Amino acid sequence: MTHSIESPILASNPKLYSFFPLFYMAWADAVLLPSEISAIESYIGKQSWLSKEESDFLRSFLNPKNPPSPQELKSWKRKINETSVEADDKLAAIGEKLSALKGSDLDENLKSSLKEIEAMMGIVSDESAFNLRAKERKTITQQLESKRSFDVQKMTQVLDGDNKAIIDKVKKVLADPQFNYLDTDNLSEYREQVFKWCQLLADQGFGSMAFPKEFGGEGDMKKYFAIMETLSYHDLSTVIKFGVQFGLWGMSVFFLGTEKHHKKYIKDIGSLKLPGCFAMTETGHGSNVKGVETTATYQHSSKSFVIHTPHNRAGKEYIGNAAVHGQMATVFAKLIIDDVDYGVNAFIVPLRNTDGKTEKGVTIEDCGRKMGLNGVDNGKIWFDQVNIPFENMLDRYASVDANGQFQSPITSDNRRFFTMLGTLVGGRIGIPRSGLSATKSGLTIAIRHGDKRKQFGPESGSEVPILNYRTHQRRLMPLLSNAYASHFALQYVTERFLNRKEEEMQEIEAMAAGLKAWSTWNTTHTLQECREACGGKGYLSENRIDRLKNDTDVYTTFEGDNTVLMQLVAKGRLSEFKKEFSDINFFGMMNYVAEKAKIGFTEMNPLIIRNTDEAHLLDAEFHLSAFRYREKDILTSAAKRFKKHLDAGMDSFDAFNQTQYHMVNVGHAYVERLILEQFLEGISKVEDQQCKDALTKLCQLFALSQIEKNKGWYLEHDYMTGSKTKAIRKMVNQLCWEVRQDAVALVDAFNIPDNCLSALIAVTK
Amino acid sequence: MTHSIESPILASNPKLYSFFPLFYMAWADAVLLPSEISAIESYIGKQSWLSKEESDFLRSFLNPKNPPSPQELKSWKRKINETSVEADDKLAAIGEKLSALKGSDLDENLKSSLKEIEAMMGIVSDESAFNLRAKERKTITQQLESKRSFDVQKMTQVLDGDNKAIIDKVKKVLADPQFNYLDTDNLSEYREQVFKWCQLLADQGFGSMAFPKEFGGEGDMKKYFAIMETLSYHDLSTVIKFGVQFGLWGMSVFFLGTEKHHKKYIKDIGSLKLPGCFAMTETGHGSNVKGVETTATYQHSSKSFVIHTPHNRAGKEYIGNAAVHGQMATVFAKLIIDDVDYGVNAFIVPLRNTDGKTEKGVTIEDCGRKMGLNGVDNGKIWFDQVNIPFENMLDRYASVDANGQFQSPITSDNRRFFTMLGTLVGGRIGIPRSGLSATKSGLTIAIRHGDKRKQFGPESGSEVPILNYRTHQRRLMPLLSNAYASHFALQYVTERFLNRKEEEMQEIEAMAAGLKAWSTWNTTHTLQECREACGGKGYLSENRIDRLKNDTDVYTTFEGDNTVLMQLVAKGRLSEFKKEFSDINFFGMMNYVAEKAKIGFTEMNPLIIRNTDEAHLLDAEFHLSAFRYREKDILTSAAKRFKKHLDAGMDSFDAFNQTQYHMVNVGHAYVERLILEQFLEGISKVEDQQCKDALTKLCQLFALSQIEKNKGWYLEHDYMTGSKTKAIRKMVNQLCWEVRQDAVALVDAFNIPDNCLSALIAVTK
């Protein structure tokens, strides 16, 4: 039996046409259940105006065993499309129009039957009706477009600040064809290229930038950081090799050595004439670096030191520059004088002569391939009774006197070692800043792609940029806000570090540790999302996300494992307690929280807890209060827990482990508060109103998406009601939608040169 | 001034010794603040028994400008260690013992002063006291050890089930030296090796396993899945190349073609004599595959089809086997007959002759390097008016008849296409199962390493396996439970697929889509955590996590982008509504939820909401209720939101986008419930009690860590109070601690051969 929309029976009773939109829907998309078929049949049965033949005709359209042909279905659609369907017509209304077109009006009984059938079909019917409505649907989702609500160059200026000149200079150097990416996966070819790039950068004076003028530099640590950050838009192996040479090797000699070392080495280090290593980590001791087992035994007779690796697992590992290029190393070893262990100290140890031949007693092994950073030649080093001269001890914090006696202005071995490490905290600032550049590269690629890439769309409508989809916005917009937020926070910690006073060091070290952990985790997470957000294109090496992700993946590990760093932050925060700790009690705790967080108990006022006004939700004061409250409460309760275990006689080591989960949260809450404060502080200094407005929106998104992430905590602590956290979720969705419109401009403002970005899906030309 | 513990003044008044533990603490670890120094000085001032000289002597120990020498500090420690310090001694008590050792008891006044000073120092003092106590501290954290609470082989048997024989066979084949990993990063060398491995596997009959006996196979799809899963312990490029050849290329010919195709091709496909491709995705259409633009135009005159790529972005992209080895491809193209578009259909198109020369009109480009899977030769393909014979149309679901008319038993073009795709849903099962094997490899590496790797420990105590740390357990134990949970769920969906009835397909497709998304995201996340949990060792290629991560990273993208799949699941779930949808209201909704979830309102009983009893928290019924409630509530409210937008006149496309965030959550909640149910179901069938107990604990951890992850939702919906979610957090910590002890046994039960695992830090020999 045919199901032609040209059947003579239809011409004789055009009212029958009114069923065709429903039939079309049933066969085109839906799956009709037996119960639905019989319900529709019963509606047909109720139509007293139908002849037996007409009823049978209509019923025949519902027989699953006798479907219309593909051609017939197409002809129904063509016929339906002849009617002038309005935007809010439903199937029943379309059916009515189709009948009218054929010259027949429907009575109320039939109209209401059609509506009832449609209601029964529910959502499926609604969707189908939309598909039939217009040739070209214009939806809000399709129409959302990128705009530029601010001057991109002004925003770049806000980000670059007074680093603009050096940033521009580095970009100009990187634009030289010599810096074209190398398409090789041959390890030694890549390593040699990276070495060459480092040499070219050193020739520009970038390597010695932080060293004093007398040693060929400019004594400008601030510029050094900006150089590292800008180089990180290019090859990341080069950045790390650069950092190993000039940062770790150079700065260890500079900060741990004294004038004699500076005069002898710094100039050659800055020019890369003397490539070297920073040999601290051992196979057996990474995070717990205080426990390294390499020894430096003082020989009274020859006034020299013997560097020795006592067993295989005490070999130095992952040492950058070691496998191929390093000629010397700063080696961290336990100083032994007359069988007394004076803790970990630093020594300059020659590894290779200028011809590349390893020195006697030194064994070096290549670490081989890594997940990323394959342009860096990491290696393992073992020492077999290697004799080094007296003056090779880096003696700023400890020395051996003429009588072979240990001397140090710092009494405790531990504290001396951590003071030495403290001078090297710059690495914990350089790494997250490098990671941030990679994050910006990833976001630039994924957001530009998301703006251009179209996929899906309303039936019979054009396809939609994927960045117009809510889930895509949810994936990328909060991460864009994180990138801007951490930019300002990292600028701040850099300034604090550059202008540090001795008594601020503990605070600065905590900030650097916390920001390093938060920021590098954010890098890993962001690049993962960017990879997925670009789909198959994100998986192809031609779009570079793979390399950005793999190269930075170890940022969460080196310069301190992130989880360990967060605990370090927590320990620092706990020392705030001291006295409070001893006589802690509930009211004391509440007072402490209230006082330190500068939050009155009014904050816990039920009206505020429930406040879902838009103005309140977007208010920076609300965000700050929430972040600060959380930080203080988590700190206080972690301390309380810890104390409770101690009071119950638990070993302090166990007590710390017992509360470790909370301690890590202490670190997170601290860093999040710090970042929000510095984002707000940074925005307050922006003069251009349009930039300020765009940044303010980003900051609101940052704050609310963090609060949303922690909503379980806020609800557990009755700081917010469920109605408020739901309102926040809605507001985050709304902000994502708004920020999306500026998103391309916001990544353009990172101003990453096309030659560095080098992702086919994202370059501007 | 010296600070010798041998000063004559001490001999004359041994009570002075009582201050040395405090002094040691002050100089060894703490930083004394000026206020603390003056407080201690005032306590000293209160000691009337001290002479002026003695007071000055003690006060001199507090002068920051006159520190003791490193040698002096060491001598204090030695002296203190001469006393017999008890486990719960604090600094004051140790001081008392030191005095006593020197022959002097303290009076009460002095004792209480020391205690007050110590209290003032708070936490720092506690920690220091621990450090002074014993030569070797024995903490709970140190003593936690791996155990085997069950028979590992029996657990392996539980996991392998009736696949044991084929799993063992595949492992045996992989143990052949021919399958030794290739240490190369040369793309073509690697690709040739992978092709060779595929050939060796085909020679074993693995490739044709799923095809009928008459075509050289065993007709055993179940074994085919087990082969894919087991191969995934080895090189993942090989698995994907294997899947492209035998799964995508072979199954598309088998399921979309008819007898003539089977006879002509299947045997040669199964033996790898005829390497081929599955050419569906185009540059312009990936997720929205229905929109592919390649055309297959029927020529009445010659009764043939012309395959054509209308523009550059309509080229096929990411096509496995295309760049080098493929000789033919199943090409998906819009069938055009007499200018009418009959939707996407499938055609066999020759690409290369057996000499590797591309056919006329075919252009192939290499996709080049990718993040991973570099042993697979992905390529792009364009067709320029390529003529193929009539019989090359895969005509199971649609054909062209003798009159050049389109014929199909399925009326709707869309539904026909999705029916065709439905036959290929096996890929959505194979991929997550392959990903699960990689997940198991990663966990085996990270957990064995965490058990052996020691780092940090109590001062003067031995170092501790990092898996004994709470944060490390928190990172890995819930992921171990996820792996076991998804193992059972993926077994279940495989069985459902193998024994499917036509009317179950929609349900099975939704399960496969949801599990694919959840499980592959879990793979990516797990391998990321494993990388970080192994620190620098995790970054070295010698430990293989980099490759596992990079190879499987695209699993979240191919066989359907995960975010899109979760929406697909949601759409399927929404169709449950239909009628309910039309007259939705609050009470109807609640009834619906209550009924469908089989949850009475007693569940919302305040006593249960607050119940924090251990037995309740560990009860599977509680877990199931919570998962089911969440699933149904999220589904209902997503539907309600969607309907609200439609009722307000919003275009359905916009309404879906508006609720997209919730739709994705619908998918997650659905899958999580499914996994929990199947984990429990799987456990119920285990006979060995010890295995059952271990699995039950894992299942509790799975359930509670999922609930914890979603605690914001449960709190927002008043399904739990804050006290209950806090109790759950504590229970998760506790379960992590317990599961950690079985963790090594639990990964050993995965029974991954050392030669496949090939991670230096984790192989058992």
Q: What local confidence, expressed as pLDDT, does residue A147 receive?
A: 93
A542-563 per-position pLDDT tens digit = 999 999 999 999 999 999 999 9
pLDDT score of B446 more than 50: yes
A680-735 per-position pLDDT tens digit = 999 999 999 999 999 999 999 999 999 999 999 999 999 999 999 999 999 999 99
* pTM of the predicted protein model: 0.94
Q: What local confidence, expressed as pLDDT, does residue B6 receive?
A: 84
Q: Which of A71, A186, A411 sits opposite B73 (nearest CB)?
A: A411
B716-732 per-position pLDDT tens digit = 999 999 999 999 999 99
Q: Do A725 and B711 touch (CB under 8 A)?
A: no
Cα Rg of chain A (Å, integer): 34
Q: Which of A28, A185, A660 sits opposite B414 (nearest CB)?
A: A28
Q: What local confidence, expressed as pLDDT, does residue B393 receive?
A: 98
Q: Exposed, middle or buried: residue A196 (CB in 10 Å: 0-12, 13-18, 19+)?
A: middle
Q: Is B213 on the interface with A (CB under 8 A)?
A: no
Q: Are strands B295-299 and B328-337 parallel, antiparallel or unpaired?
A: parallel
Scanning every residue of chain A, which has its alpha carbon at the shortest distance from the alpha carbon of B521?
A: A532
pLDDT score of A593 more than 90: no
Q: Is B288 on the interface with A (CB under 8 A)?
A: yes
CA distance A567 to chain B (A): 10
Q: Is A592 on the interface with B (CB under 8 A)?
A: no
B364-406 per-position pLDDT tens digit = 999 999 999 999 999 999 999 999 999 999 999 999 999 999 9
Residues 78-117 of A with CB under 8 A from B: 87-88
Structure tokens at B741: 């002890």
Q: What's the average model confidence in pLDDT over B72-77?
A: 90
CA distance A433 to chain B (A): 20
Q: Which of A141, A406, A733 sits opposite B71 (nearest CB)?
A: A406
Structure tokens at A83: 């009617």
Q: Are strands A295-299 and A328-337 parallel, antiparallel or unpaired?
A: parallel
Instruction: Tell me which chain B residues have a C-beta less than 8 angstroms from the C-beta of A408.
Output: 69-70
pLDDT-based confidence at residue B518 (cuts at 50, 70, 90): very high
Q: Do A411 and B69 touch (CB under 8 A)?
A: yes
A8-21 per-position pLDDT tens digit = 888 888 888 988 88
Q: Do B370 and A67 touch (CB under 8 A)?
A: no
A60-110 per-position pLDDT tens digit = 988 888 889 999 999 998 888 888 777 667 788 888 888 888 888 888 888
How far apart are alpha carbons A200 and A204 in whole angstroms? Answer: 7
Q: What local confidence, expressed as pLDDT, does residue A756 receive?
A: 97
Scanning every residue of chain B, which has its alpha carbon at the shortest distance from the alpha carbon of A66?
A: B409
Which of A150, A126, A125, A83 lies closest to A484 in space, CA to CA? A150
How far apart are alpha carbons B427 and B251 in whole angstroms? Answer: 10
How far apart are alpha carbons B496 and B510 in whole angstroms? Answer: 12
Residue to mutate among A90, A715, A719, A728, with most B CBs inside 10 A, is: A715
pLDDT-based confidence at residue A601 (cuts at 50, 70, 90): very low
Contact B757, B445 (CB under 8 A): yes
Q: What local confidence, expressed as pLDDT, does residue B12 receive?
A: 86
Q: What local confidence, expressed as pLDDT, does residue A340 receive?
A: 96
CA distance A267 to chain B (A): 31
CA distance A754 to chain B (A): 20
pLDDT score of B602 more than 60: no
Q: Do A531 and B553 touch (CB under 8 A)?
A: yes
Q: Do B540 and A367 touch (CB under 8 A)?
A: yes
Contact B521, B434 (CB under 8 A): no
Residues 454-473 of B with CB under 8 A from A: 455-458, 461, 463, 468-472
Q: What local confidence, expressed as pLDDT, does residue A8 receive?
A: 86
* DSSP letter for each residue of B493-546: HHHHHHT--GGGHHHHHHHHHHHHHHHHHHHHHHHHHHHHHTHHHHHBGGG-HH
Residue to mutate among A411, A541, A729, with most B CBs inside 10 A, is: A411
Q: What local confidence, expressed as pLDDT, does residue B473 receive?
A: 98
Q: What is the mean pLDDT of chain A?
A: 91
Which of B617, B747, B751, B753 lies closest to B694 in space, CA to CA? B747
Residues 390-409 of A with CB under 8 A from B: 405-406, 408-409
Instruction: Tell me which chain B residues have a C-beta less than 8 angstroms from the C-beta of A413.
Output: 70
Residues 474-533 of A with CB under 8 A from B: 474-475, 506, 524, 528, 531-532
Cα–Cα separations (whole angstroms), residue B330 to A561, A717, B268, B357, B360: 49, 58, 15, 18, 17
Least confident of A460-469, A715-724, A751-760, B393-402: A460-469
Q: Do B545 and A371 touch (CB under 8 A)?
A: yes
Residue to mutate among B715, B731, B735, with most A CBs inside 10 A, is: B715
pLDDT-based confidence at residue A386 (cuts at 50, 70, 90): very high
Scanning every residue of chain B, which has its alpha carbon at the shortest distance from the alpha carbon of A89?
A: B649
Contact A581, B127 (CB under 8 A): no
Q: Which of B88, B123, B536 sits opposite A577 (nearest CB)?
A: B123
* DSSP letter for each residue of A675-715: HHHHHHHHHHT---HHHHHHHHHHHHHHHHHHHHHTHHHHH
Q: What local confidence, expressed as pLDDT, does residue B646 receive?
A: 80
More confident residue, A324 or A128: A324
Instruction: Tell me which chain B residues have a C-beta less than 8 angstroms from the C-beta of A67.
Output: 409-411
Contact B719, A712 (CB under 8 A): no
Which of A13, A651, A97 lies closest to B142 in space, CA to CA? A651
pLDDT score of B673 more than 90: yes
B189-233 per-position pLDDT tens digit = 999 999 999 999 999 999 999 999 999 999 999 999 999 999 999
Q: Is B371 on the interface with A (CB under 8 A)?
A: yes
What percent of chain A is predicted at pLDDT more than 70?
93
pLDDT score of A466 more than 80: yes
Q: What local confidence, expressed as pLDDT, does residue B765 receive?
A: 55
Q: What's the average model confidence in pLDDT over B3-17?
A: 87
Scanning every residue of chain A, which has its alpha carbon at the shortest distance from the alpha carbon of B567?
A: A471
* DSSP letter for each residue of B719-747: SS-HHHHHHHHHHHHHHHHHHHHHHHHHH
CA distance B119 to chain A (A): 6
Q: What local confidence, expressed as pLDDT, does residue B185 receive?
A: 78
Cα–Cα separations (whole angstroms), residue A430 to A425, A515, B176, B240, B632: 9, 11, 48, 40, 48
Residues 650-679 of A with CB under 8 A from B: 650-654, 657-658, 660-661, 664
Q: What local confidence, expressed as pLDDT, does residue B585 receive?
A: 42
Residue to mutate among B716, B718, B724, with most A CBs inside 10 A, is: B716
Q: Is A664 helix (H, G, I), strand (E, B) or coil?
A: helix
Q: Do A139 and B414 touch (CB under 8 A)?
A: no
pLDDT-based confidence at residue A648 (cuts at 50, 70, 90): confident
Q: Is B340 on the interface with A (CB under 8 A)?
A: yes
pLDDT score of B581 more than 50: no
Q: Do A660 and B470 touch (CB under 8 A)?
A: yes
Q: What local confidence, expressed as pLDDT, does residue B133 receive?
A: 64
Scanning every residue of chain A, which has its alpha carbon at the shortest distance from the alpha carbon of B74?
A: A412
pLDDT score of B710 more than 80: yes
Q: Do B415 and A121 touch (CB under 8 A)?
A: no
Q: What's the average model confidence in pLDDT over A109-127?
A: 75
CA distance B413 to chain A (A): 7
Instruction: Tell me which chain B residues have a C-beta less than 8 angstroms from the C-beta of A368.
Output: 540-542
Q: Is B27 on the interface with A (CB under 8 A)?
A: yes
Helix (H) or strand (E) holding A348: strand A340-350
What percent of chain A is predicted at pLDDT more than 90?
70
B117-151 per-position pLDDT tens digit = 877 776 556 666 666 765 567 788 988 999 999 99
Q: What local confidence, expressed as pLDDT, does residue A89 receive?
A: 77
Residues 124-183 of A with CB under 8 A from B: 124, 126-127, 130, 137, 139-141
Q: What's the average model confidence in pLDDT over A436-452?
A: 98
Q: Do A67 and B411 touch (CB under 8 A)?
A: yes
Q: What local confidence, expressed as pLDDT, does residue B588 receive?
A: 45
Q: Do B124 and A715 touch (CB under 8 A)?
A: no
Q: What local confidence, expressed as pLDDT, does residue B87 receive?
A: 65
Q: Do A140 and B654 touch (CB under 8 A)?
A: yes
